[in-house]
Amino acid sequence: MTVDDSTPEPLVGLDRPGLGERLGALVTRSFQIDQIYDALYLRGVTDFSEMTNLSLALRRELSGKFSLGLPEVASRQAGADGTTKFLLRLRDGASIETVDIPDTKRRTLCISSQAGCGLACAFCVTGYWGAGRNLSAGEIVGQVQLVRRLQELPDTLNLVFMGMGEPLLNLPAVHTALRLLSERISWRRMTVSTAGVIPGIDAIGTWERRPNLAISLHAPDDARRSEIMPINRSYPLADLLDALRRFPLEPRRRITVEYILLAGFNDRSADAVALAQLLRKIPVKVNLIPFNADPVLGDRFERPDDTVVTRFQETLMARNLTATVRRTRGEDVGAACGQLRAFARPPRAQTVRPGGGSRQTS
C-alpha cells in the first residue's frame, strides 16, 4: 500500500498494546491509552474532538500527529428497499464497497476484507474485476465506524464479511478486526463467509472466540463447483466437508452453507437431494440465494423461477435440513449478493493498451 508520507498515521486498527507503542512518546499514562481505546472501539468516535475525557491540549496534539484513518465516502446510493451502498476510497486510492441492509427487525452491515478478489467465481462481479490488495485491520474496522456515524447503526447490528474479497486470505487482519469490533458487537452477531479456504477454516477453529462461519458451496459435485469456483481445484468438496466436520462449534451453533441457485445449472430437485446427502451429519443450515444478474457477467446464468427456488428449499427441508431463502436486497443499486465492484478498471484477464483499448490476456 502506497500512501503520501505526509498523511497522518491512522490509529483505528490498533489494539491496546499497539496504541501504547504508537502513542508512547505522547501519551505517558496507561489510563489514557485505555481512554483512547475505549473512545475508538466502545464509543466509536470519528474525531479526536469527541474524546472529551482527554485534555484539550492532548486532543490537539493527537489530531496534529495522527488520524483515525477512516475511509472517505466516494459515493452513496440508496435503494428503494432502504438498502444503502457506500463506495469508499482508502488512503492509497484503492476502493471498496460496504452495504447497510435494514430489514424489519434486523440490521446487517456487509463489509469488505479485500479491495478486489482473485478467486474469479463465475457468478460474482467482484471476481470479474480481479484481485486487489488485502485491507488492514483498521480499514476493516473503519468501514463499521464510518457507517455508524452516517447511519446511526444499532448495537444489535449483525456484521457479515460477505463484501468484496475472500476473508480467509487476509486472516490476520480479519482476526484483529473481529477482536476490536467485538467490543461493541457480539461474536454471535458476526459472520465470516469463505469460498472454502481450508487452512483458514482450521485456523479459526483454534481461536478462543469465534465468529459464525459461512461456506459458499454453490454446487453438489466437484465438476460443477470447479467450473464456477476455481478454488475447488485446490480445496475439493471432500476435503472441505472434512474441514467442516472437525470445525469446533459452541452449543446450538451451526455452520451456514450458502448456495447460489443458477437456473438450469444447479437448481434441480436432484441437485437438492445430492446437496442434502453431502451435508448429512454436519451441523449446518442452508441459505439459498437466487442468482443476482449483472451486465458485466453476461447472459451465461439466469435467476431461477420462484417455484423452482421453493421446490429446492422444500426438497432440503424434507431431508431434515434447515433451509432459508435470502431475500434480494439492494439490487436496484448493485448492492445485492455478488454485485459489489470498485472504481472502474480493466476486468480480470484484460490489460489496457496505449490509447485506452484493451485486449484479452488469457
- For residues 57 and 123, membership in a common domain is answered with no
Determine the pLDDT at residue 358. Answer: 34
* pLDDT tier for residue 356 given thresholds of 50, 70 and 90: very low
- For residues 167 and 62, membership in a common domain is answered with no
**Where in the sequence numbering do the catalytic residues fall?**
97, 337
Query: Between 232 and 326, whose confidence is greater?
Result: 232
Residue 134 lies in a domain: yes
The mean pLDDT of 337-352, rounded to a whole number, is 49
Residue 271 lies in a domain: yes
Which CATH number characterizes residue 194's domain? 3.20.20.70
Domain that includes residue 262, residue range = 72-333
Distance CA 283, CA 17 (A): 37
pLDDT in tens, 269-326: 999 999 999 999 999 999 999 998 877 788 889 999 999 999 999 999 999 999 999 8
Residue 362 lies in a domain: no
pLDDT in tens, 234-275: 999 999 999 999 999 999 999 999 999 999 999 999 999 999
Question: DSSP per residue over 223-285, as a string?
Answer: HHHHHH-GGGGTS-HHHHHHHHHHS---TT--EEEEEEE-TTTT-SHHHHHHHHHHTTTS-EE
Task: Let me know: does 333 contact 294? Beta carbons within 8 Å.
Answer: no
pTM: 0.90
Determine the pLDDT at residue 5. Answer: 53
* pLDDT tier for residue 82 given thresholds of 50, 70 and 90: confident
DSSP state of 69: -
- For residues 39 and 77, membership in a common domain is answered with no
Distance CA 211, CA 246 (A): 16
Which CATH number characterizes residue 15's domain? 1.10.150.530
> How many separate domains does the chain show?
2
* pLDDT tier for residue 34 given thresholds of 50, 70 and 90: very high
Residue 322 lies in a domain: yes
**3-class SS at 353?**
coil
- For residues 46 and 152, membership in a common domain is answered with no
Residues facing 66 on adjacent strands: 9
Residue 19 lies in a domain: yes
Residue 353 lies in a domain: no
- For residues 124 and 148, membership in a common domain is answered with yes
Residue 147 sits at the vertex; the CA angle it makes with 112 and 55, to the nearest 5 degrees, is: 120
**Grid coordinates given for 106:** 434486523
pLDDT in tens, 318-333: 999 999 998 866 555 5
Residue 237 lies in a domain: yes
Determine the pLDDT at residue 172. Answer: 98
pLDDT in tens, 92-111: 999 999 999 998 888 999 99
